[in-house]
Amino acid sequence: MSEHAIALTLNGQRRDAVVEARTSLADYLRLDAGCTGVHLGCEHGVCGACTVMVDGRAVRSCLMLAVQADGSTVTTVEGLAAPDGTFHPVQQAMREAHGLQCGFCTPGVLMTFAALTGGEAKASEDSLVSAMSGHICRCTGYQGIRRAAKALAEGTVGAGGAE
Amino acid sequence: MNAPNSNLGATRWIGKRVPRKEDPRLLTGRGQFVDDVTLPGMLHVAFARSPIARGRIVSIDTQVARELPGVHAVLTMADLAARPIKLLSFFFTEAEVPITPLADGHVSYAGEPVVLVAAETRAQAEDAASLVEIEYEELDPVVTIAQAKVAAPIHPGVDSNVAAEIGDEEVEDELEDKLAGSALRLSHRIVHQRISQSPMETRGVLASRDGPEELTLRITCQSPHLVARWVSLALGLPDTAIRVIAKDVGGSFGLKNHPWKEESAVIVAALLMGKPLKWIEDRYEALTASNQAREAEMTLQAGFDAQGRLTGSHGIYDCNNGAFPQGADSNIAVHMFVWAAYRVPAYAFVSRGWYTNTNGLAAYRGPWAMESLVRETMLDRAARQLGIDPIEIRRRNLVYLKDQPMVTSMGIPLDDITPGECLEKLLDHFDMAAFRREQAAARAEGRYLGVGIASYVEPTGSAGSMAPMTGELAQVRIEPTGKVTATLSTHSQGHGTATTMAQCIADRLGVRYEDVTVFEGDSTRGGFSPGAAGSRQGVIAGGAAIRCSEMLADKVRTLAAHLLNASVESVVIDEGTVRVEGAPEMARPLAEIAAIAYGEPDRLPPGFESGLEMQFRYQPPPMTFTSATHLAVVEVDAETGFVKILRWISSEDCGTVINPAVVEGQISGGLAQAIGMVLLEEMPYDARGNPQAATFKDYMLPSISDVPTFEFVHANTPSKSIGGMRGVGEGGAIIGPPTLVNAIADALTPFGELGDVVLPLTPARILDVIEQRDVSGFYAPEPVKVEAAVAEPVAAAPEPVAEAPAVPSAGPEGDWNMVLKTPMGPQAMVAHFDIEGTALSGYLSAPEGRQDFAGGTVEGNRLRFDLKVEKPMKITLKYDLEIGGDSITGKCKMGMFGSAKVTGERA
């Protein structure tokens, strides 16, 4: 197997690594970088559990090779909360909305929400809900995820909007 | 029992929609699922699996695989045989056919693990597994229930493909007369597809032999306690030598009740190799090689009088058990509960589970759910034929509170079920007359709306009649700091038990929810329980947490009364402060009392045990019923056959609600799975026994766009268990399917009758009704597969030559080794017969005990006798046996459960 040196910024910290060409970004993040919050639900790009942010965009880390992330800025669920532990609004919204049960699909849901609510443009409830069609949750029937999307779109997180 | 506790202050935690304790770690990526744990020196496992559904293993060549860098071991069943393991059912019973961790000589389903590879990385293990060369001699597989009925047995040493059976083939004259004399006699059939439970976290295990007598398992499961007990029994190791840890589990839904072939292979290999071994199933394996569920067919007959009142009913149920079911199952619960909420004068049935060359049967949320689906869809069909409103036909047959106490036609005592009341309450929230007007107007525009309702009851919190279904344990302590910790027998795969149990404890102890921490997920914490199985944790563990906390509160009050020179009755604990009524100046923080309880023995009352710790194991009533009626509104697109769900209302009575968000979450999850079962999900097999859905592109799970927003109406009739809770874990998956099917059938009435239901209702199947032709191709006559009928059984060893014509070497007297095929699995026993003339007496002896009988009769080779038993319920067993030489065959009629097969030979 050929090995390649890569460098990336992961959750605000620069990391250098040597990876096999066939190593997926997800496997690199879980096995080498210790980001076990990146969950592998299908490894074929359908379930969305492994979603991370690469240069601000939501990406399925099971479908991207680690070498492709060379030079990128990558954020995983571990990098969402503020250094003092304060939840990111998407985490707060999901908590208030009871948006999770087993929590396995949750990191991917959070990263897609974060990618869509992080920019300048304000995401609509419809666009957030449609984006969620790329995430499979087997536990909740999506009820809390819908409430979280609504609260994020309406800016009512923390004011009981997601409850 | 449910009287308010006098120590309680004003603050209530039961009934509050509090945020979950589990969420902060799960939202920050700090959950601990089995694949998140790495141990020093750990190796990764991958399996070489059978590419065929049935055949003999001719040779296995592992040499190339073994030579790959990083590979430590390549093991076959011959290697694993050095450490025997018995794969047991959920009820801890042994299977009738041998089940080995890896295939032993022959393969019985596509995907069966044949060779285990352990290597330093997962990639190396997979590379090596792909290099194992296995030569097979392929045989024609038996895939469907229809094939299993006519084919030679797939397993050597059994006389048919019947894995389990119960009931009676013939309809008795009395019931037949009732059905024949009915104004409407309807036969209704459901063909239910095979389902993959598909928890988002696949199966996985990390097994580590820690010293010669310690085994530590990290495993994704439904109860670390049940796994510890199962592994202990399977390996013959004391359970004190096994520690099972499962902190976070990514869903299970019945799949992960206990280890099966792959997990057992990893455990045995870890014991043999002495190195930690990790196996994490990938999704391809999960879909094609994990156990599966639900593939079954049921025909329900019922008679109705002209007013739509039920006159009698008969059910025929067949279930595909696959090759190695996690407990051979004819699903007696289907028949126990099919009419449990209805007044039906008589019901009889026959029920069989069938072995096939497919993945084994495992549980899936509400394993008996077929009963509600077939009954509720039949009732709507009958209502349409009789010209009665679907609501009205239910009102005329459902059990209301005013009808109770009563006993169902299957002998189940009812005294507090409320399906009828749930129906009435639901109708307060839905204007049916307005909907019918809207429906008529829509039809005039070519839009097809439909409404469906369905009612049911569900047995929850079952305890005391089956080995694993025990009570639940709560251990609660107030730490010297005044904070509260508890260990429970519960386990969460998303259930949020650390949250709901903390609410129960905070409520009854008089402390803040934030100050209670619940520990679970480790077999060395808490005590035995089967965890999440049978919608039980809220009911039983909730009761345990409540009573234990009340007992501990009484201990605090006793101590505080002594320290403060007050009467016990006047001491109240509220929000972590101990107060004396009428004397606010005497209030003390709980921490101060706790510090004294642990650290100042001289200040304790005489005989007072130091510390503030308590435990209570709650043995609840044998069963607690949950009732519900659901309603769905759909629109069917007549051009495409596409179904859109417009509205869904759940009206359920789950007694006391500990946390509405958790209760609604459980119901919603079950309903989403119901929508998947009705419209989307299917694990088909091809004619060669290959599972056809290998990715989530083929196996379609419901996404957010398939699931509507659910509305909830809670009825809250407290149950008789401590705290008054009723279980809700499975209900959505049981009542959801008939609710949706009924709505679709209602929408389709302008085109014709939906009729028998073949799931999933794909757009093509809906177009079958709309276009009144076979769009789906399902109804085209299937060619009869003759090869299955003549397939040779796979013989592991040559059949023993039949002995010369049986000349009875002796009469029936003496000892016989007999096996009774009960609904819980085969039960082995020794029968002893004594004969005087034509009078028969004797005893049956099993590990559970011995029972004597007398008053039996002997007629030639035929022996008949009755035995009264108390468990699992009071029932008279009527044995009717025939002796042929040194073998014995016959039936045991088990009251309303029908007959079970008996076989045996002279001891």
Residue B873 has a pLDDT of 64
Is residue B333 included in any domain, yes or no?
A: no
Q: Do A129 and B704 touch (CB under 8 A)?
A: yes
Q: Do A140 and B696 touch (CB under 8 A)?
A: no
Residue B850 has a pLDDT of 84
Q: Which residues pair with A94 in a beta bridge?
A: none
Summarize pLDDT for B779-835 with one digit per residue, the tens.
Answer: 765 544 444 444 444 444 444 444 444 444 578 888 988 888 777 777 888 999 999
| CATH of residue B898 | 2.40.128.120
Summarize pLDDT for B35-78 with one digit per residue, the tens.
Answer: 999 999 999 999 999 999 999 999 999 999 999 999 999 999 99
Q: Do B664 and A143 touch (CB under 8 A)?
A: yes
- Report the residue of A44, A143, A163 to disrupt the B interface, i.e. the one with the largest count of B CBs within 10 Å: A143
Q: Do B494 and A103 touch (CB under 8 A)?
A: yes
Residues of B with Cβ-Cβ distance to A98 under 8 angstroms: 17, 19-20, 661-662, 665
Looking at B602, B618, B634, the residue that finishes a domain is: B618
Contacts of B321 (CB under 8 A, 6+ apart): B163, B164, B328, B329, B353, B354, B355, B356, B360, B361
What is the arithmetic mean of pLDDT over A134-163?
92
Q: Do A22 and B123 touch (CB under 8 A)?
A: yes
What is the arithmetic mean of pLDDT over B158-164?
95
B606 and B641 part of one domain? no
Is residue B743 included in any domain, yes or no?
A: yes
Question: Of the ranges A64-73, B209-218, B552-561, which one carries the lowest mean pLDDT score?
Answer: B209-218
Residue B809 has a pLDDT of 53
Residues of B with Cβ-Cβ distance to A141 under 8 angstroms: 665, 668-672, 702, 707, 710, 732
Summarize pLDDT for B699-724 with one digit per residue, the tens.
Answer: 999 999 999 999 999 888 999 999 99
Laid out side by side, the sheet with B106-107 consists of B106-107, B55-61, B133-138
Statement: residue B345 has pLDDT above 60? yes
Statement: residue B2 has pLDDT above 50? no
Question: Of the ranges B536-550, B660-674, B833-847, which one carries the lowest mean pLDDT score?
Answer: B833-847
Residue B878 has a pLDDT of 87
Distance of residue A7 Cα from the nearest chain B Cα, in angstroms: 23
What is the arithmetic mean of pLDDT over B563-575?
95
Q: Using an 8 Å Cβ cutoff, are B302 and B310 in contact? A: yes
Q: Do B496 and A140 touch (CB under 8 A)?
A: no
Summarize pLDDT for B105-138 with one digit per residue, the tens.
Answer: 999 999 999 999 999 999 999 999 999 999 999 9
What is the arithmetic mean of pLDDT over A28-34?
97
Question: Residue written as tokens 């927003």?
Answer: B709
- A24 to chain B: nearest residue by CA? B123
Rg (CA), chain A: 16
Residue B790 has a pLDDT of 41
Is residue B581 included in any domain, yes or no?
A: yes
What is the arithmetic mean of pLDDT over B590-601?
97
Q: Which residues pair with B634 in a beta bridge?
A: B450, B645
| Alpha-carbon gap, residue B582 to B570, rounded angstroms | 8
Quote the percentage of chain B above a pLDDT of 70. 95
What is the arithmetic mean of pLDDT over B722-742?
97
B114 and B209 part of one domain? yes
Distances (CA, A) of B446 to B637, B750, B761, B816: 9, 10, 21, 70
Is residue B560 included in any domain, yes or no?
A: yes
Residues of B with Cβ-Cβ distance to A139 under 8 angstroms: 200, 251, 494, 665, 669
B433 and B284 part of one domain? no
Which of A47, A104, A110 is nearest residue B33 as measured by Cβ atoms? A104
Helix/strand/coil for B378:
helix
Statement: residue B431 has pLDDT above 60? yes
Residues of A with Cβ-Cβ distance to B496 under 8 angstroms: 101
| CATH of residue B223 | 3.90.1170.50
Which of B495, B696, B704 is nearest residue A132 as measured by Cβ atoms? B704
Alpha helices in B429-541 (DSSP H): 432-444, 497-509
Looking at B570, B601, B618, the residue that finishes a domain is: B618
Q: Do A102 and B704 touch (CB under 8 A)?
A: no
Which of B283, B703, B705 is nearest residue A41 as measured by Cβ atoms? B283
Using omega within 30 degrees of 0 as the cis cutoff, is the peptide bond preceding B468 cis?
no
For the ranges B264-278, B402-416, B452-466, the maximum mean pLDDT occurs at B264-278
B875-891 core/surface letters (b: 16 or more CB in 10 A; e: else)? bebebebbbebbebebb
What is the arithmetic mean of pLDDT over A2-23?
96
Residues of A with Cβ-Cβ distance to B201 under 8 angstroms: 39, 41, 102, 104
Q: Do B28 and A133 touch (CB under 8 A)?
A: no
B474 and B548 part of one domain? yes
Residue B827 has a pLDDT of 80
Which of B17, B28, B251 is nearest residue A102 as measured by Cβ atoms? B251
Contacts of B631 (CB under 8 A, 6+ apart): B426, B430, B451, B452, B453, B647, B648, B649, B651, B739
Residue B7 has a pLDDT of 57
Residue B330 has a pLDDT of 94
Count residue pairs from A and B with Cβ separation < 8 A.
Answer: 164
Residue A44 has a pLDDT of 96
B737 and B828 part of one domain? no
Residue B1 has a pLDDT of 35
- Report the residue of A104, A125, A128, A130 to disrupt the B interface, i.e. the one with the largest count of B CBs within 10 Å: A104
Residue B605 corresponds to which tokens in the numbers above? 């009352």
Q: Which amino acid is at B818?
A: M
Q: Do A140 and B668 touch (CB under 8 A)?
A: yes
Residue B786 has a pLDDT of 42
Q: Using an 8 Å Cβ cutoff, are B421 and B401 in contact? A: yes
What is the arithmetic mean of pLDDT over A138-147?
98
Residues of B with Cβ-Cβ distance to A103 under 8 angstroms: 22-23, 26-27, 31, 248, 250, 494
Is residue B804 included in any domain, yes or no?
A: no
Residue B896 has a pLDDT of 66
B744 and B699 part of one domain? yes
Residue B555 has a pLDDT of 97
Residue B804 has a pLDDT of 45
Q: Which amino acid is at A96?
A: E
Residue B238 has a pLDDT of 81
Q: Do B494 and A129 touch (CB under 8 A)?
A: no
Residues of A with Cβ-Cβ distance to B35 under 8 angstroms: 30, 36, 40
B446 and B474 part of one domain? no
Which of B123, B493, B707 is nearest residue A102 as measured by Cβ atoms? B493
| Alpha-carbon gap, residue B662 to B497, rounded angstroms | 9
Residue B785 has a pLDDT of 47
- B36 to chain A: nearest residue by CA? A36
| Alpha-carbon gap, residue B816 to B840, rounded angstroms | 14
Residue B129 has a pLDDT of 98
B540 and B447 part of one domain? no
**Residue B473 CB-density burial (10 A; 0-12 exposed, 13-18 middle, 19+ buried):** buried
Domain ranges, residue B608 = 470-618
What is the arithmetic mean of pLDDT over B183-187?
97
Which of B248, B493, B704 is nearest residue A145 as measured by Cβ atoms? B704
Looking at B601, B618, B635, the residue that finishes a domain is: B618
Residue B710 has a pLDDT of 98
Q: Do B201 and A39 touch (CB under 8 A)?
A: yes
Is residue B778 included in any domain, yes or no?
A: no
Distance of residue B35 Cα from the nearest chain A Cα, in angstroms: 8
Q: Do B705 and A130 touch (CB under 8 A)?
A: yes
B695 and B823 part of one domain? no
- B16 to chain A: nearest residue by CA? A163
Question: Residue written as tokens 């307005």?
Answer: B434
Statement: residue A49 has pLDDT above 70? yes
Q: Do B20 and A98 touch (CB under 8 A)?
A: yes
B653 and B721 part of one domain? yes
Q: Using an 8 Å Cβ cutoff, are A108 and A37 in contact? A: no
B97 and B241 part of one domain? yes
Is residue B801 included in any domain, yes or no?
A: no
Q: Do B248 and A103 touch (CB under 8 A)?
A: yes
How does residue A12 score in pLDDT terms, banded at 50, 70 and 90? very high
Residues of B with Cβ-Cβ distance to A106 under 8 angstroms: 26-27
Which of A39, A42, A132 is nearest residue B696 as measured by Cβ atoms? A42
Q: Which domains does chain A have, with CATH numbers?
A: 3-79 (3.10.20.30), 89-154 (1.10.150.120)
| CATH of residue B718 | 3.30.365.10
Distance of residue B663 Cα from the nearest chain A Cα, in angstroms: 11
Evaluate the CA torsion angle B77, B81, B83, B88 in order and state its sign. positive
Residues of B with Cβ-Cβ distance to A35 under 8 angstroms: 29
Which of B251, B665, B671 is nearest residue A98 as measured by Cβ atoms? B665
| Alpha-carbon gap, residue B508 to B502, rounded angstroms | 10
B610 and B647 part of one domain? no
Is residue B551 included in any domain, yes or no?
A: yes
Q: How many domains does chain B have?
A: 4
